[in-house]
Amino acid sequence: MESTQPLAQRSLVWQLISFALFFGLWELAGRWPVSLAFPPFSKTFLALVRITADGSLPKAYLSTLQPLLIGIALCGIAGIGFGIGMGLSRAIEWASLPLFIILQAAPMAAIIPLITYIYGIGLTAKVLAVVFLAAPVVVMNSYKGIRNTNPSLIQMCRCFLGTRRQEVIKIILPHAAALIFAGLRLGLAMGFIGVVIAELLITPTGIGDLITYHSSVADYPEMFATIASIIVIAALAIHGLERVERRLFPPEIRGS
């Protein structure tokens, strides 16, 4: 314990130094200036305080995070359910695996503008954009998690007279849980991309709209503050999920 404590402190110090260095370089680059449209860190930070205080940033987040959460929840329920179904049933696998392989490989962002033709520019369209980007990885991870079950454990279960139901509940699902959860985390990362693209391309609301608006009136510090904030929030959310994942499924007790 005595040796790990200073080590943790030292790593915190290094993290702070690296942040300071990054923001310092940003400040220098902004003052130099690299471009008139590139504000220094200090101005961006003040802009962040300003748009937070006047309520425009919180309001934009409300409008962006709502479809993101709805979309991820949909993927979490339907996507995981479908992936598990694909893993357990040869018929479902046969019928839908090619579709998901194509969806996973296709540049899904390209079809986001198409959503507008059918669903307009409301909440539905944004939720769909999230689902389109996040679903393939969520479904495929669940499917692979189920399929990768250690065959020896399944034989063991059958040998000790387990029913198919017990096999699924006591062996296959616990074995796949870690991969399924990882799929959800990757899905969230894709969901962030989906919702911001949707807001930039089709529905001028939320964070995407805030970026477009500040850019069009040349409020570059505000624009950069918005961009930086969504990057930070997405990174923190995904890092947070990764920590939860490591807590829930330490590598030693994982199935795979």
Interface contacts to other proteins, rule CB under 8 A: 150, 152-153, 155-163, 166, 170-171, 174, 252-255
The alpha helices in the chain, defined as continuous H runs, are 4-31, 41-53, 56-74, 80-88, 90-105, 112-119, 123-147, 151-159, 164-166, 173-201, 206-216, 220-248
Looking at beta carbons only, is 149 or 205 nearer to other proteins?
149
| Least distance between other proteins and beta carbon 251 (Å) | 9
The alpha helices in 38-89, defined as continuous H runs, are 41-53, 56-74, 80-88
- In whole angstroms, give the CA distance from residue 185 to residue 189: 7
| Least distance between other proteins and beta carbon 177 (Å) | 8
Look up residue 24 and give its amino acid.
G
Looking at beta carbons only, is 127 or 168 nearer to other proteins?
168
- In whole angstroms, give the CA distance from residue 92 to residue 252: 32
Looking at beta carbons only, is 43 or 170 nearer to other proteins?
170
Q: Determine contact, residues 147/100, Cβ cutoff 8 Å.
A: no
Looking at beta carbons only, is 164 or 243 nearer to other proteins?
164
- In whole angstroms, give the CA distance from residue 39 to residue 28: 10
Q: Determine contact, residues 71/191, Cβ cutoff 8 Å.
A: yes
| Least distance between other proteins and beta carbon 223 (Å) | 48
| Least distance between other proteins and beta carbon 171 (Å) | 7
Place of tokens 């296709």: 106
| Least distance between other proteins and beta carbon 137 (Å) | 24
Looking at beta carbons only, is 157 or 223 nearer to other proteins?
157
